[in-house]
Amino acid sequence: MPKFLIERNIPGAGDLTPDQLNAVSKTSCAAIRTIGPQVQWVESFVTDDKIYCVYIAPDEATVLEHAKIGGFPANSVKVIRTIIDPTTAE
Predicted structure pTM score:
0.92
In order of 42, 43, 45, 54, the CA distances from 29 in angstroms are: 11, 12, 16, 14
Domain chopping of the chain, boundaries: 3-85
**How confident is the model at residue 11, as a pLDDT?**
96
Where the chain has pLDDT below 70, the residues are none
DSSP 64: H
Tell me, what's the pLDDT at 52?
Answer: 98
Pick the CATH number of 3-85 from 3.30.70.100, 2.160.10.10, 3.50.50.60, 3.30.70.3090: 3.30.70.3090
Q: Say what angle helices 60-70 and 18-35 make with each other, to 10 degrees.
A: 130
* The total number of residues written for the chain in this structure: 90
Q: Return the beta strands (E) in the chain as ranges.
A: 3-9, 40-46, 50-56, 76-79
C-alpha dihedral sign at 22, 26, 29, 31:
negative
Q: Are the C-beta atoms of residues 65 and 11 closer than 8 Å to each other? A: no
Which pLDDT belongs to residue 56? 97
Q: Give the pLDDT score at 76.
A: 98
Q: Quick one: which of 45, 61, 56 has its CA closest to 1?
A: 56
Q: Note the pLDDT of residue 16.
A: 97
